[in-house]
Amino acid sequence: MLLADLVVSGVGYVRGVNASSPGRIVLLTTSHRVAPGLLSWPAWQALHDADRVLCADGAHPQLPYLREAGVKVDEAAPTAEELVDACAGGHTVTVVATGEGEPQLTDGLARLAGSGRLQMPDLELLPASYDLPGARLLDLVQVMDRIRAECPWSSQQTHKGLAKYGIEEAYELVEAIEEGDRHELREELGDVLLQVVFHARIAEEGRPEDGAEPFSIDDVAGTIVTKLIHRHPHVFGDETATTPEEVKAHWLRTKAVEKQRTSVTEGVPLGQPGLALAAKLASRVRTAGLEVPIPQGEGVGYELLAMAARAEAEGVDPEAALRAAARAYRDAIRGAEG
């Protein structure tokens, strides 16, 4: 239906009626990341007070809830000229914007205003709902769902097949941090996040390779939320902590109760880089208050082990220190090549 039809059929919407009053246009924007019907109070007021409510998309998710609330919505895609005509005589027309925000309509209104030929209605852009922090994560989940279903490569991936990418993305993230490149940091964080969502999406299908019950990204998020709350009793409970050392002590105590490990070496992944592995073992020994001499032996491996343990005791990350030295070496090589 064109707005011209509404102008003729609507009471008081006849061209030229009280043309001295240009009326008002309210462009109502909503977020698809918020449950339909959850609109702000000013938005509901604008909808109920309008002389006419229009929406170009008959499948707009808000329409059933607006009609249930007694708002009469006409499905129409007006041009800018038709919308200005509908406001003549001091009328208010509220347009429920589609997902794209009605750029064609707003561009047309801007051209009319710039022409100087018409007395333009007041134009108000009214956000009816706002995205909450983290709302774009919903978009990521939806995009991943579609890629998993429709992409020939993504649909065939498994946890084992993706494992190497998780390692690569983690290293690229560390490199961006150490280089101090914030643009790269944002991109690499996204790549790491993709790995989390991708694995959760695969796990949701419960394929035989998993050997366990399926779980979703919501289960993943719920698990880490529960863990964070439990391990921060000084934030969410009655305990207090005023220093980083006290916080770490809280964390270690609650983790020990959760895991109930019989050895401090449990949970240390042996597949991590050698220096990081040595430093992690040394950290576990030191934290537990154990007296375990560094094994003595022949070869570079034992020397590196001793150096990694010493670095950890001094609060130095041996992997990061070696990478920094390697970057300096790389720069020296490039200088020599130059």
The answer to whether 169 touches 191, Cβ cutoff 8 Å, is yes
Q: What is the pLDDT of residue 159?
A: 92
Q: How many residues does the chain have?
A: 338
The residue type found at 335 is G
Q: Report the candidate in 258, 203, 261, 214 with the shortest Cα–Cα distance to residue 233.
A: 258
The answer to whether the beta carbons of residues 26 and 45 sit under 8 Å apart is: no
Residue pLDDT, tens place only, 266-309: 888 888 889 999 999 999 898 888 899 999 988 999 999 999 99
3-127 shares its CATH topology with 133-215: no
Q: Answer yes or no: is pLDDT of 14 > 70.
A: no
What pLDDT, on a 0 to 100 scale, did the predictor assign at position 183?
Answer: 95
The answer to whether residue 67 scores a pLDDT higher than 60 is yes
Query: Is residue 214's pLDDT more than 50?
Result: yes
- What's the topology of domain 3-127? Cobalt-precorrin-4 Transmethylase; domain 1 (3.40.1010)
For residues 56 and 102, give the distance between their C-alpha atoms in angstroms, rounded to a whole number.
Answer: 9
Q: What percent of the chain has pLDDT over 90?
A: 57
CB 28 within 8 A of CB 56: no
**Do residues 282 and 308 make contact, with C-beta atoms less than 8 angstroms apart?**
yes
pLDDT of residue 326: 93
**Helix locations, 118-267, DSSP H:** 136-150, 159-179, 182-205, 217-230, 233-236, 244-259
d(CA 279, CA 272): 11
267 or 100, higher pLDDT: 267
Categorize the per-residue pLDDT at 255 as very low, low, confident or very high, splitting at 50, 70 and 90.
confident
At residue 241, the pLDDT reads 86
Residue 54: strand pairing partners: 74, 95
If you average pLDDT over residues 218-237, what whole number do you get?
Answer: 92
19-41 pLDDT, tens digit each? 467 899 999 998 888 888 889 99
Residue 204 has what pLDDT? Answer: 92
The pLDDT assigned to 20 comes to 63
Closest CA to 60 of 83, 86, 91, 39: 39
pTM of the model: 0.67
State the first-to-last Cα distance of the chain, in angstroms, to the nearest integer. Answer: 70
Output the six-digit token pair for 132.
Answer: 């909450």
Q: What percent of the chain has pLDDT over 70?
A: 92
Location of structure tokens 């939320």:
225
d(CA 87, CA 79) in angstroms, rounded, equals 13
Which residues, listed in sequence order, are joined to residue 28 by a DSSP beta bridge? Answer: 96, 126
pLDDT for the residue 261: 76
Looking at residue 252, its pLDDT comes to: 76
Alpha-carbon span 65 to 36, nearest angstrom: 7
pLDDT at 132: 82
Q: Give residue 210's pLDDT band: very low, low, confident or very high (50, 70, 90).
A: low
- Rounded CA separation 241/44 (Å): 46
The DSSP element (H or E) to which 95 belongs, if any, is strand 92-96
Q: To 5 degrees, how large is the angle CA 38–CA 40–CA 46?
A: 115
Q: Is residue 224 over pLDDT 90?
A: yes
322 pLDDT band, cuts 50/70/90, is very high
Dig out the tokens for 241 from the structure: 């902590």
- Long-range contacts of 321-326, Cβ-Cβ distance < 8 Å, separation of 24 or more: 322/275, 323/178, 324/178
Which residues 6+ apart lie within 8 Å of 257 measured at CB? none
How many whole angstroms separate alpha carbon 227 and alpha carbon 7? 60
Distance CA 204, CA 218 (A): 10
pLDDT digits (tens, 9 = 90+) for 146-199: 999 999 999 999 999 999 999 999 999 999 999 899 999 999 999 999 999 999
Q: What DSSP character marks residue 121?
A: P
Instruction: Supply the pLDDT for residue 209.
Output: 56
* Higher local confidence (pLDDT), 262 or 1: 262
Task: Give the domain ranges of the chain.
Answer: 3-127, 133-215, 220-260, 273-338
CATH fit for domain 133-215, picks 3.40.1010.10, 3.30.465.10, 3.30.200.20, 1.10.287.1080: 1.10.287.1080
